[in-house]
Amino acid sequence: MTYTPKVQAKNDSVIIVDDVKKLYKSSRDLFKNADKPTGPEYMKSVMAVSIGVTAVGFAGFFVKAVSIPVLHMLGY
């Protein structure tokens, strides 16, 4: 005699839909309960991002400015 479970196994699409619903609910709860930044916190974030973007821009400019003469010396 073999055991046959009375509960049917869920198919893959039902499992995916359940996972998406759980993700949506947890994401919604996270955003609802998250603290919004104050004015000084927001300005600190803006300054940090601005400094980072500027630094990356200068680094890219420096690499490009150095690579042009080097490539001309190599004959490319």
Distance CA 53, CA 59 (A): 10
pLDDT, tens digit (0-9, with 9 covering 90-100), for 27-67: 999 999 999 899 999 999 999 999 999 999 999 999 999 99
Q: 67 by DSSP, 3-state: which?
A: helix
20, HSE (Cβ side, Cα atoms, 13 Å): 6
User: Is the CB of residue 47 less than 8 Å from the CB of residue 39?
Assistant: no
pLDDT band at 12 (very low <50, low <70, confident <90, very high): confident
Domain range annotation of the chain: 39-76
Residues 6+ apart with CB under 8 A from 45: 37
pTM of the model: 0.54
> Which pLDDT does position 53 carry in this prediction?
99
